[in-house]
A = this chain, B = another copy of it.
Amino acid sequence: MSEAASVQAVRATIGDSEFDRDTAVTLREPGVYDIDLSAGWTIINAVNGGYLLAVLGRALADALPHSDPFTISAHYLTASQPGPAVVRTDVVRTGRTLSTGQASLFQYDEAGREVERIRVLASYGDLDTLPDDVRTTAKAPAIPPMDQCFGPQDAPAPIPGSSAITDRLFLKLDPSTLGWALGAPSGKGEMRAWFGLADGRDADPLSLLLAVDALPPTAFEIGLSGWVPTVELTVHVRSRPAPGPLRVSITTRNLAGGFLEEDAEVWDSADRLVAQSRQLARVRLG
């Protein structure tokens, strides 16, 4: 069965999909949520930072009077593992248009003590109440048609040390940003792809938090291998995405002193810039 056909056959919906089940948090007491972090969203052995941000974002959507993360800033403290975790939220301020909250995700050490993994500050609103004015001068990234792009499924053999998350994503990379995979990185800090969820679930504000951190690191195209752990990631969600695949473009302009920034833009099928993000990451040479 072709990939496209398989997506059609099992098409999941917002609220009933792998992503929704794996980010579901259970209220333990007011402001405190339990979750079992899924092993399905790991890259090598690390839980993907965008998936983790979506988990925190979902807890805050429950804790705050507004439902959509307008701007969410995460500082990554220690590496998360699949398994039990607790999210502790704090309502900082509630307003008519915006409310601000804080959340931390903790896991447990051998002695059962909580170890903080990520801390987040976020301001939430309601995307559906925003006026329709758009004066965007940003241009959607020029990515070739999907059938001219390449995903992990197109590789002749499984990539060594490949990652559970590749089965959950529909990712088709622009061949002009794929030089690294052929041993010939372009030297430009760019990565572009079509992005969706493998089960066909459409995008929503929470899955945009995943989309901004799901492509291979731009460092690969700069000619660096090894791990590029996120120090801080801030995402602005600017519009509710239309149904259909997203286009994600990631750019690094400043690699210096062992750190780099990654700027992501996410465009929806209606040609709207639905999310912008920036992260600061460390370069750990492999």
Kindly supply a per-residue 1/0 record for chain A positions 113-150, scoring 1 wherever the CB is within 8 Å of any chain B CB and 0 otherwise.
00010011111000100111111111000000000000
In the bound complex, residues from chain B placing their C-beta under 8 Å from that of A258 are 130-131, 133
- B280/A135 in contact, CB under 8 A: no
Would you call B276 and A232 a contact (CB within 8 A)? no
A163 within 8 A of B: no
Query: Which residues of A33-77 are within 8 A (CB) of B?
Result: 70-71, 73, 75, 77
Assess whether B116 is in contact with A92, with CB atoms less than 8 Å apart: yes
A108 within 8 A of B: no
Decide yes or no: A234 and B236 within 8 Å by CB, A100-B119, A189-B137 being known contacts: no
Interface of A is mostly: strand
**Whole-angstrom CA separation of A278 from B280 in the bound complex:** 12
- Indicate if the CB atoms of A238 and B257 lie closer than 8 Å: yes
Chain B neighbourhood of A165, CB < 8 A: none
Interface range, A side: 35 or more
In the complex, which residues 242-282 of chain A have their Cβ closer than 8 Å to any Cβ of chain B? Answer: 253-259, 261, 272-273, 276, 278, 280, 282
Complex: how many Å from CA A120 to CA B121? 8
Please tell me if A8 contacts chain B, counting CB pairs below 8 Å.
no
* A interface residues with partner B (beta carbon < 8 Å): 70-71, 73, 75, 77-78, 92-93, 97-98, 100, 102, 116, 119-123, 127, 130-138, 188-189, 222, 231-232, 234, 236, 238-239, 253-259, 261, 272-273, 276, 278, 280, 282
16 A-B pairs (CB sep. < 8 Å): A70-B231, A70-B280, A73-B73, A73-B234, A75-B121, A100-B119, A120-B121, A130-B257, A131-B257, A138-B253, A236-B278, A238-B256, A239-B256, A256-B273, A261-B276, A278-B278
